[in-house]
Amino acid sequence: MSYKRSQLDEDNFKWFEHRKSLNSLKRLGITKGGIRGLRAPFELNFKYPITAIVGENGSGKSTILAMAACAFHNSGSFTPQNRVRLNTSQIRRYYRYSDFFTFNSDEEGIAELEIKAEYLGKDAPATDIRRKKPDGKWNDYNRRPARVVSFLGIQRIVPPSESSTHQGYSKKFKKQAFDDNQRKQLERSMSYVLDRPYTNIELKEFNAHKLFSTMRGDLRYTGFNMGAGEHAVLGLILEIISAGKGALIVVDEIELGLHTRAQIRLIETLKQLCNTNNCQIICSTHSKEVLEALPPEGRIFIRRGESKNEIIPGISPEYAFGLLAREKTNELHILVEDAAAKDFLENILSLEVRERIKIIPSGSAEAVLKALAVHYRETAQRESFRYIAFLDGDQKNKSIQRIKKTLEHTLENRTLKDEEFDILQRHHIKYLPGNSPPEKEILTQVNTPENYERLAADWGTSADRVAETLNSCLTEETHSIFYRISQAVSFSEERVRGSMIRIYKKALPSKVQAIEKHITNLLGETNTTNEVVA
């Protein structure tokens, strides 16, 4: 399903990009060495105040969350809810790498590691580098940029009824003073996320342990009788509200304990809190609904590799969960006229794009347009329309009105409104490069002296033989060109076509890049591309 930016999204993009002095985390990576499954060079870019990281188990999601939590130094008065109270007088409010990375004597620890974080500082983007020295010590934590950080791990999902600590102190929890504005904000958020009224929320504490209490109708009940998801959401929202403006909240598996609708509503609530409090949230997830609720700029997929992990930013939910299921997904169907057009696109597009699309030869330009119209007619929601037509270059001379008429006829004579047709024309009807069919376009562009040498080396013949063959085919019937060349050099048509398309790709990178960029924009689901493919 296509993602459409809301005004709330636009507001969040704006402050996150331009508001200085909040120390918003913009980049995070490893520049030397490695930690767990992540190895240098490794870098993530954060482009939206909420970032959800998805990937297989063992892909490095938890490691990234830990690195984010350790990127700043909380020297203020706010105490994250999971900071252990060492004794009644000593509280450590910041995180160290030892809070997340523990090694047995049989395991090799961390050494010669360099982690780089870039943040939007008061005057300009600034950089902090954390180094693990050979003697086992990290450089001074106090030198990190100042920012309130709270890490919420999966332990938050354990309800008080299953916590032996809470059970043991059940009679000792005392009511705490609660800011009335915070209470009302918490009640509004909880009521929206879980779709039932919450009133008179109270907070009770004993040492570092919290216990919530709320009213449902005439009944008051505490966390001992709340569901796990209910108690976890209360804790998350209160943490954001209490942390104040500009905080970084790091959450492991943010959807835990919540049903589908509540997950979607939670993300919407977090967007509002981010806009109000200018906070940043970095989380991991295994939920398709969480990804769907975020703009593409808020999604990152970590793909586990043999030697290093691959980062796929802006991933679509369909692609992400197809990868998790080890299934090939077709997020976009590309309609073309024939096998030559299909081969052209397959040979110029990158693997990252090819594995997300399906290219379908339809037989002719008219057949392509009719197929496009059929799928458009059968798509209930226009934002879910995942088809694009690439016509041969010689179709550029056809009348726009003729194209519109063909579409309307297949749409059972329904008149396309001008704005509707404009969207189809700009986003879903494109042309292959040149002003002729792809066979002729490829031959014309590749038929140069410098390319004779390249093809000669590839085909095991002389440059003169290649020149003679290509020039003799300039007057051939379009669909016979690759056949005649294949006969002359004793290779299959597919082999010949592939060789020439790859040279075309090197010779005309701007035309190739324009095609891939347009397809990538559609895969990125922004629905705002205005790219013109020549």
Dihedral (Cα; 333, 336, 338, 341), 10-degree rounding:
-100
**Angle CA 382–383–388, to nearest 5:** 80
- What is the reported pLDDT for 526? 40
- What is the reported pLDDT for 90? 61
Go through the domains of the chain in sequence order and give each one's CATH number: 7-20+46-103+144-159+227-321 (3.40.50), 165-226 (no CATH), 332-433+511-523 (3.40.50), 438-507 (no CATH)
**Contact 384/2 with Cβ under 8 angstroms?**
yes
- What is the reported pLDDT for 417? 84
Distance CA 13, CA 264 (A): 19
- What is the reported pLDDT for 16? 95
Which residues in 156-208 belong to E strands, given as ranges? 174-175, 199-206
**Two tokens at 288?**
């398709």
C-alpha R_g of the chain = 29
Counting every residue written for the chain, the total comes to 534
**Two tokens at 274?**
């981010």
At 171, give phi and psi (nearest 5°): -90, -5
Report mean pLDDT in 10-residue bins for the chain, 534 residues. Answer: 83 93 91 84 94 90 92 82 56 82 67 87 83 75 88 85 75 82 90 90 78 83 83 91 92 92 95 96 94 92 77 81 73 87 91 88 83 77 78 87 84 77 88 92 94 93 94 88 92 90 92 91 56 36
**Contact 151/62 with Cβ under 8 angstroms?**
no
- What is the reported pLDDT for 527? 38
The answer to whether the predicted template modeling score (pTM) of the entire model surpasses 0.75 is no
